[in-house]
Amino acid sequence: MVYETDNRTIADAVDRVLEGETIDRTDAIALLAQPVEELAAAADTVRARLGDGTVDACSIVNAKAGNCAEDCGFCAQSAHFDTGIETHGFLDPEEILAAAKRAEADGAQRFGIVVAEKGVSKEQRPEEWAEVLRAVRLVRDETDVEIDASLGLLTQEEANILAEEGLNHYNHNIETSPRYFDEIVSTHDFEDRLKTLRRAKNAGMDLCAGVILGMGETPADRVDAALELRKIGVSSLPVNILNPIEGTPLGDRESAAISKTDLIKTIAVYRLLHPTARVRLTGGREVNLAEDEQHWPFEAGADGLLTGDYLTTGGQDAATDIEVIEDAGLEPNTAVNEFDPERVKRAAGSDTDAVGDAIESSADD
C-alpha cells in the first residue's frame, strides 16, 4: 500500500510501517517536525489499516493509596511530598471486586488494580500479597474484564505467580526517557522498571507501559521513551499528560509543558512507532484538552483510553467518553477479549516479528 501525500517524510514512514518495517529514531524526530494535520492523518491511516476501528476502555481502582516511599516528582501519593490526599491500606478484595463490576457495567474491557508503593512484596508483606491474589481471583472468577495490575517492582517468582492466578496484563510505566528519568525519580532507576517489565512478559503477561508527557522532557526524550517501550514490546501504551499536583516538585506549574499541537504530533508518532499496540489516552487528558478537543488524539492514531476516575483525581464518566469516541468516527470496543499467555511468552524478545505477523494477518482480512 502506498500512502498518498506530497510530504515524502510522512509518506515514506507510513509505507514502511504498512510493509512491516520499523522507523528509527531519526525518522521519528523528523516526523515530529512535520505539519500536525498531515501527520495526524497519516497515523490515522495506520490505525485504520492495522486496528479494528474501536477504542478500548480500561478503568482502575486505587487499591492502596499514599505513603509511598518513592519520590516520583509528579506523584501525589509519595510520602516525600505534602499533597493532602487521603491515604489507606490495601482495600478489602470485595471492594475491589465491586469496583471491577462497576467498570464492567460502564463498558471497560480491562480493569486495573493499582497500589502506591515500590512493590507488593511476597516476602516482606505476605499478608498483603495474599490479599492481592484474592482480589485477582475474585475479579477473574466473577467478571469478564481482563485483569490488569500495577503493583510496582516484581521478582520473577512474583510475576510467575500473578500470571498463574490469571493476571492478564501488567502495568508499569517508564514515565520518560532513560536520559530524563533521573530528573524525575531518585529512589530507583530506569533499569529497575525495565527489569520488572521483562519479568512480567517472561511470565506470560501482556505489558501496559507508557509515559507522562509535559514534565519538562524534550521531543527527543518522547521519542526515546517510545523506542524503549518498543524494545520491550508493549500491547498497550498509556499516554499521560502532566496534571500538576500542588505539593509535588512539578506542582508549581500551571499546566503541562507540552502544547496541544505537540501532544497530537507525539500521539501520531507513537502510532507509527507502535503500529499494533493500543495507544491509550490516560491521566491528564481532561485538564489539558477541552471536551470538544478530546477527539483529536483519536483522529491521530490513538485507540484506547482510561475511563472514570484516576488515582487521586477525578476523571470523566463513561457516557462522555463514548461521545468523544463517536466524535472521532470510532466506536467503543465491546468484544470479549481473548488472552493467550503462551503467545505473550513466545513474543518476549521478538517484538518486531510480532508486529510483522499482525500486519500480515491484517493484509489477509
- Which residues are annotated binding-site positions for [4Fe-4S] cluster? 68, 72, 75
Q: Which residues are annotated as a binding site?
A: 68, 72, 75, 208, 280
Report how far residue 202's alpha carbon sits from residue 224's, in angstroms, rounded to the nearest whole number: 23
Report how far residue 298's alpha carbon sits from residue 359's, in angstroms, rounded to the nearest whole number: 20
What cell was used for 83? 499533597
Asked whether the beta carbons of 171 and 208 are under 8 A apart, the reply is: yes
DSSP letter (8 states) at residue 92: P
Q: Which residues are annotated as a binding site for [2Fe-2S] cluster?
A: 208, 280
DSSP letter (8 states) at residue 51: S
Report how far residue 11's alpha carbon sits from residue 294's, in angstroms, rounded to the nearest whole number: 26
DSSP letter (8 states) at residue 257: S
349: left (phi > 0), else alpha (psi -120 to 50), else beta?
A: left
- Angle 16-211-75 from CA coordinates, rounded to 5°: 175
Report how far residue 320's alpha carbon sits from residue 341's, in angstroms, rounded to the nearest whole number: 33
